[in-house]
């Protein structure tokens, strides 16, 4: 059902917590996993942090027997996530949620909310 699952990550606890759900989905559906980190701008420290984050995430999934491809991009997170979903033919995007979209003001700023609106495929939000 889900041939390719895209998992955008950041350094939030919510992203780490969503990883278990992603691992279960990938194993259950025998999916290809693509882990994505988006850096908002050309900041060397952020780029290095993203590389470390992707490396650790890939190793964590490997410990669970899940192989993953990793992609690092620069750009506006919501738009970049949707662009990459389109590029890799993702059937599902799985994201952690920080709960910031619970108010109308927060929803307007929420990356998750924007991805839901713009995504070329279904989006699963893990609270």
- Could you report the per-residue pLDDT of 54-97, keeping only the tens digit for each? 999 999 999 999 999 999 999 999 999 999 999 999 999 999 98
Q: Read off the pTM.
A: 0.91
Q: How confident is the model at residue 1 (pLDDT cuts 50, 70, 90)?
A: confident
Computed over every residue of the chain, the mean pLDDT equals 91
CB 60 within 8 A of CB 25: no
Whether residue 14 has pLDDT greater than 70 = yes
Whether residue 48 has pLDDT greater than 90 = yes
Tokens of 97: 């949620």
Q: Which domains does the chain have, with CATH numbers?
A: 4-126 (3.40.50.620)
Whether residue 102 has pLDDT greater than 60 = no
């Amino acid at each position: 059902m889900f041939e390719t699952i895209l998992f955008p990550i950041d350094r939030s606890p919510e992203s780490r917590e969503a990883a278990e759900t992603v691992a279960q989905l990938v194993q259950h559906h025998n999916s290809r996993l693509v882990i994505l980190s988006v850096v908002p701008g050309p900041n060397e420290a952020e780029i290095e942090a993203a590389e470390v984050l992707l490396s650790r995430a890939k190793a964590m999934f490997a410990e669970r027997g899940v192989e993953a491809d990793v992609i690092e991009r620069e750009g506006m997170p919501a738009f970049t996530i949707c662009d990459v979903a389109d590029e890799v033919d993702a059937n599902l995007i799985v994201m952690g949620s920080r709960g910031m979209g619970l108010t109308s003001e927060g929803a307007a700023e929420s990356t998750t909310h924007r991805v839901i609106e713009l995504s070329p495929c279904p989006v699963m939000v893990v609270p």
